[in-house]
Chain A
């Protein structure tokens, strides 16, 4: 009959960490089988099990917080620390790719024609679609803040509208970027310009998709009354992540798209 005499969360035993580790093993070895032996079964298995683990693990966190009440202010503080540290680690991840870009573009080698952009590369015009994409992400930063204010003020209808608009803007960005990728006159195989461009913007695009998915889950939870006006950390975490994605784009735009053209 013991009740806890502390405000922390002692979680139930869960299979997701070890299944998640197994999924990572399958995904990485699946990549090897795909690259070297042209077989994609292991990779598909890995990605599928990864998705299943993510869905169930995060579903359990929603159950523990919203339905079982385990997310006390103390626990929420820990979750905040966790999200901040994770986003910081992602910032370092992108820092590496920016380093690679500047390494190659500040001192262009003779093989590139001694110039940046390298000889033969026609970079994208930064004042066309990339500028539109910048406006889209900035606008989505405004709408997600609007959604947050609506939640804290208890305005369910407005919060739903603002969050939906944010997600639509995210999808619009992704669609435009996909079209840009398709229409670009250069590819990832076009020397170090292609490599730095597509790896940096590609990982950013992946993070936009992840952020949009996170926001979409928050929209569903908002509709299902999971959030209260002063306890909605899942939404705040999604909003932080979204602002981070926006900031990374601004750096990408200023350095690779604009300075690098």
Chain B
């Protein structure tokens, strides 16, 4: 309900593949600080699974999202309670 993308996220090929020069195309820098994993990540994030970008990686994304939601929504309730209590008149 409202979370399904209206436009299909399916793409026949990588939209952003190798149209611009990749740093890994350069010689003699192959193993300087790791391999280029960007093409693999491009494939992963362009998979036509209907998932929104903030949940695209699956479980770790879901965990982080739920933690953030718990903290913000729980915190908002706590905040409203605290403000309600703070607004009560104090008997000196």
Contact = CB atoms under 8 A, between A and B. Distances in A.
B8 A1 contact: yes
Contact of B21 (A25, A29, A52, A229): A229
A243 interface: no
A31 to B, nearest CB: 12
B40 to A, nearest CB: 10
A224 B41 CA distance: 11
B46 A45 contact: no
A224 B34 contact: yes
A11 B34 CA distance: 31
Interface in B34-92: 34, 36-38, 41-42, 44-46, 52-54, 56, 64-65, 67-69, 71-73, 75-76, 78-79, 82-83, 86
A16 B3 CA distance: 14
Nearest to B51: A12
Interface of A: 1-4, 10-16, 19, 22-23, 25-26, 29-30, 32-33, 36-37, 41-42, 45-46, 48-49, 52-53, 56, 60, 63-64, 66-70, 154, 156-157, 160, 223-231
A19 B69 contact: yes
Given A228-B20, A229-B20, A53 B78 contact: no
Contact of A12 (B11, B21, B54, B64): B54
B64 A52 contact: yes
A83 B79 CA distance: 32
Contacts of B86: 32-33, 36-37
Given A52-B71, A63-B45, A16 B21 contact: no
Contact of A52 (B22, B37, B68): B68
A56 B54 contact: yes
Contacts of A228: 20-23
A42 B75 contact: yes
Contact of B32 (A12, A36, A64, A157): A157
A225 B41 CA distance: 11
Contacts of B75: 22-23, 26, 42, 45-46, 49
Interface of B: 2-3, 5, 7-8, 10-11, 14-16, 20-24, 26, 29, 32-34, 36-38, 41-42, 44-46, 52-54, 56, 64-65, 67-69, 71-73, 75-76, 78-79, 82-83, 86
Contacts of A32: 86
Contacts of A48: 71
Contacts of B37: 224-225
A26 B29 contact: no
A74 to B, nearest CB: 14
Given A12-B53, A33-B86, A156-B29, 20 more contacts: A3-B8, A3-B11, A12-B52, A12-B54, A13-B2, A13-B5, A14-B52, A14-B54, A15-B65, A19-B72, A36-B86, A45-B78, A49-B72, A53-B68, A56-B64, A66-B16, A68-B42, A160-B32, A223-B34, A224-B34
B52 A22 contact: no
B16 to A, nearest CB: 3
Contacts of A1: 8, 10
Contact of A225 (B14, B36, B79): B36
Contacts of B38: 66-67, 224-226
Contacts of B76: 22, 25-26
